[in-house]
Chain A
Amino acid sequence: MQTKGTQDKATGLPTLDDLVACPQCDTLHQATELPTGARAHCQRCGTLLMTSQPAAIAQILSLALTAFIMLLAAISFPFLSLDAGGHHNATSVIDAILAFQDGFAAPLAIIVAFFIVVIPLIRLGALVYALGPLVRETKPRRRAREAFGLAEWLRPWSMAEIFIVGVTVALIKVAGMATVTLGPAFWAFAGVVVITVLKDQLICRYSIWEALDQSAA
């Protein structure tokens, strides 16, 4: 982030590019160079405005890439298996989604599929697409801004971590009636959750927009 300190002649205010408005309450702030590791909050409502972590983009990229690959593994491998009275039933994440496919519950299958697989994959893919060239310090890809905007817009609808809590509750419900074995996909999924939380902590929207802006110029 650069502060040019230039002032608009007409208004005496700093130029528009040096201003930051709080997205939550609209209060204007002047952007200044933050010391590494510092966090700037809105003076009125306290919303986090920006952080200064020069290495963050490379870290976000590597975490997003890891999570993407682990999520693919989580979808493909067996997730949980159940043994009771000589019967055996193994379930993958896809089976969990297809549980709703019959009759009236079909729309729910689509919703669940989006929340736990499709949206997380799109989000991670879009982040990798948008941030990749920034790390290599080359020109951003076409529509990199749209990709990052999409990833941020989808954030509340990516529910992998909630799914894992749901799985835990379900396991306790069936624990009395059958033996449940955790498959490799369960651990992959748990890994995706941890990595996603770490990655979202690192994302400072302002700095990334700024970086996308500068590399395009």
Chain B
Amino acid sequence: MGSTGSISGLTTAREAGLIACQRCGQVHRLDQPVCKRCGGVLVSRDVQSLQKVWAWLIAGIIAYFPANIYPMLLTSTLVERTESTIIGGVVELFEHGSWGIALIVFVASVVIPVGKFIAIMHLAISVQKGAKDQQHGRHKTYEIVEFIGRWSMIDVFVVAILSALVQLDTIATINPGIAAISFALSVIFTMLAAQSFDSRLIWDADRTPS
């Protein structure tokens, strides 16, 4: 731990009648509209945070359904033409014996997105109910969600590379399916949902409302 001293216990900027810039940490009086140091817009608490979180989250969940139902990859070879979905691609890799890679794709395309939906819902609901327990746990959850969300894009990039690389006229061609777009949108929407969440709300619950 470092050596930042605290002032009379732990006080939040809002309790002290101040407003803090989330971009650079500079503290201002409550009436300041923009940060004098970095020019960021000052918001004590984002009161619309949860609305934005729910909107982006629902959009993300909706886009996740077609991403799993429709094909991600369209493969044509001399003899056959196959379409594979996200899960289909994982099963294929698994049968191929590439267990490690199958696991990476499965975690990135299924475990992380679904885990994120549940985690963000849990965070939003707990803040709405004014939960006072497990603040550290929920804050950790938020940090993990923010950090890990982008990694779901792996499968989209796999499709991009395969479609660019495997263009061998009649022997074999691979083209992207519509699920690639749905999946990319789902990941982007959930990233926006996580970014809209104002983590200060987790820590406000045990403070006297002002």
Instruction: Tell me whether A44 and B203 are in contact (CB under 8 A).
Output: yes
Instruction: Tell me whether B39 and A145 are in contact (CB under 8 A).
Output: yes
CA distance A206 to B25 in the complex (A): 7
Number of A interface residues, CB 8 Å?
80
Q: Which of A17, A28, A95, A104 has the most chain B CB atoms inside 10 A of its CB? A: A28
- What are the interface flags for A91-107 relative to B under an 8 Å C-beta threshold, 1 for contact and 0 otherwise? 10001111110101101
CB-nearest residue of chain B to A102:
B175
Contacts of A28 in B (CB 8 A): 6-7, 10-13, 16, 18, 20, 27
- What are the interface flags for B151-181 relative to A under an 8 Å C-beta threshold, 1 for contact and 0 otherwise? 1011111101111111111011001101011
**Closest approach, in angstroms, between the C-beta of A46 and any C-beta of chain B?**
8
Contacts of B162 in A (CB 8 A): 170, 173-174
Instruction: Tell me whether A89 and B203 are in contact (CB under 8 A).
Output: no
CA distance A102 to B38 in the complex (A): 42
CB within 8 Å of B: which A1-40 residues: 13-14, 16-17, 19-32, 34-35, 38-40
**Closest approach, in angstroms, between the C-beta of B168 and any C-beta of chain A?**
4
Q: Contacting B158 at CB < 8 Å: which of A87, A111, A166, A212?
A: A166
Instruction: Tell me whether A166 and B202 are in contact (CB under 8 A).
Output: no
- What are the interface flags for B1-36 relative to A under an 8 Å C-beta threshold, 1 for contact and 0 otherwise? 111111100111110101011111111110000000
Contacts of B156 in A (CB 8 A): 108, 112, 166
Instruction: Tell me whether B24 and A209 are in contact (CB under 8 A).
Output: yes
CB-nearest residue of chain A to B135:
A45
Instruction: Tell me whether B181 and A156 are in contact (CB under 8 A).
Output: no
Q: Which of A24, A104, A177 has the most chain B CB atoms inside 10 A of its CB? A: A24
Instruction: Tell me whether A108 and B16 are in contact (CB under 8 A).
Output: no
- What are the interface flags for B122-152 relative to A under an 8 Å C-beta threshold, 1 for contact and 0 otherwise? 0000000000000110010000001001110
Contacts of B168 in A (CB 8 A): 82, 84-85, 87, 89, 178
Instruction: Tell me whether A149 and B6 are in contact (CB under 8 A).
Output: no
CB-nearest residue of chain A to B152:
A162
CA distance A108 to B158 in the complex (A): 13
Number of B interface residues, CB 8 Å?
73
Instruction: Tell me whether A205 and B203 are in contact (CB under 8 A).
Output: no
Q: Contacting A40 at CB < 8 Å: which of B3, B96, B181, B202?
A: B3
- What are the interface flags for B59-74 relative to A under an 8 Å C-beta threshold, 1 for contact and 0 otherwise? 0000000000000000
Interface residues in chain A, defined as those with a beta carbon under 8 Å from any beta carbon in chain B: 13-14, 16-17, 19-32, 34-35, 38-41, 43-46, 49-50, 80, 82, 84-85, 87, 89, 91, 95-100, 102, 104-105, 107-108, 111-112, 115-116, 145-146, 148-149, 152, 156-157, 159, 162-163, 165-170, 172-174, 176-178, 180, 205-206, 209, 212-213
Knowing that A16-B28, A159-B153 touch, tell me 10 more A-B residue pairs with CB under 8 angstroms.
Answer: A16-B27, A23-B25, A25-B12, A28-B12, A32-B3, A100-B160, A108-B176, A157-B191, A163-B157, A206-B25
* Chain A to chain B contacts (Cβ below 8 Å), 29 pairs: A16-B27, A16-B29, A17-B26, A20-B4, A21-B25, A22-B25, A23-B23, A25-B202, A26-B200, A26-B204, A28-B20, A46-B136, A46-B139, A50-B25, A85-B168, A89-B167, A97-B164, A98-B164, A99-B160, A99-B176, A112-B160, A145-B37, A149-B40, A162-B151, A163-B157, A165-B151, A173-B158, A173-B162, A213-B37
